[in-house]
Amino acid sequence: MNRSIFVVVGVLLGGGVLTACGSATTSAASTTAPRASSTPKHGIPKIAASGTIAAVSLSSSSMQVQGTATGETTVDWTSTTRFTQAITISPSAIAIGSCVSAIEHTPRGSNIAVIHSITVTTGKSTCANPPTVAKKAKHHGSHSHRRPKGHRLIRGTVTAVSSTSITISESATSKSTAQSVTLPLTKTIRIIAHQIAASTDLIAGRCVIVQGSTSSIGVVTARRIGISQPTNGSCKVTKGTTSPSTGSTGA
C-alpha cells in the first residue's frame, strides 16, 4: 500500500496556528488604493498569492511572486505580518502530548484505508475536536470545502513516538468513542514542521502562500506568509481559500 503522510508541527501564534492580525501598508500604492476583503463570509482566510519567489526587496518590504493565477504578483508585508516556514524534521521532534489530526481515505472500490496527511500541533493541553469547515461551508450554501466522501478525520493526542510510528489517543466524538490509533511512518514519509520565520527567510526560489488583501491595482498586502522549499523543483500554486492550519505551505 502506498502511503503518503505529511506531518506538520504548528507553532502557536497568539493562541492559534497562524493567528491573523490587522496590518498597515508600507507602500503608497497599497496604502491609497482600496482593498478587497481577505476573509470570505464563511470565515476562511483567502489566499491572495502563491507560487515561487521571483525577487525580494527587504528594504522596501516587498517581493514578486511568480505562479499565481494572474502571473507575477507584487506582495508587500508590514510589521504585523505573520511569517512561518516549513522545514523537514525527524519523528523524534514530535513531542508527547501534541495534538494530531489526520485524514484517512478509503479509495472507491477498495477496503484499504490510506493516510494522506497528518497535522501535529504543539503547545495545547487539550485536543478537542474543532468545528468542521464542511459544516460552515454548508451553512453558507457552499460545498467547495466539504470533506470528500470516503474521508474520515482522526484526531487525538500523541502518546508514543518511535522511528516507525506515532501512537495517538483518538478523541471521542458524537459518533465514536476514544481509542488508541497507531499511524505508521516509513522512509518515504515527509515530516514537515512549521516554525516562526521572518522576512529574511524570503529568498528567491523558495515557495510561498500569502493570505491578505489585494488592492485595485493588484498589489497584495500580506497578513500571513507561509514559506517552504520547492518539491521536485516547483512550487504548488493554490487558489481560493484555505484553512491556515492545514497541511504544509507552498510545497
**Domain 19-83+199-228's class?**
mainly beta
What pLDDT was estimated at residue 105?
72
Say yes or no to pLDDT of 128 above 80. no
pTM comes to 0.60
What pLDDT was estimated at residue 58?
97
HSE at residue 60, side-chain half, CA atoms within 13 A, is 13
Confidence of residue 155 (pLDDT cuts 50, 70, 90): confident
Taking the domains of the chain in order of start, what are their residue ranges?
6-11+87-192, 19-83+199-228
> How many of the other CB atoms lie within 10 Å of CB of 192?
22
What pLDDT was estimated at residue 148?
54
CA distance 7 to 246: 10
Confidence of residue 227 (pLDDT cuts 50, 70, 90): very high
CB 166 within 8 A of CB 100: yes
> How many of the other CB atoms lie within 10 Å of CB of 63?
26
Rg (CA), the chain: 19
Mean pLDDT of 20-37: 38
Say yes or no to pLDDT of 171 above 60. yes
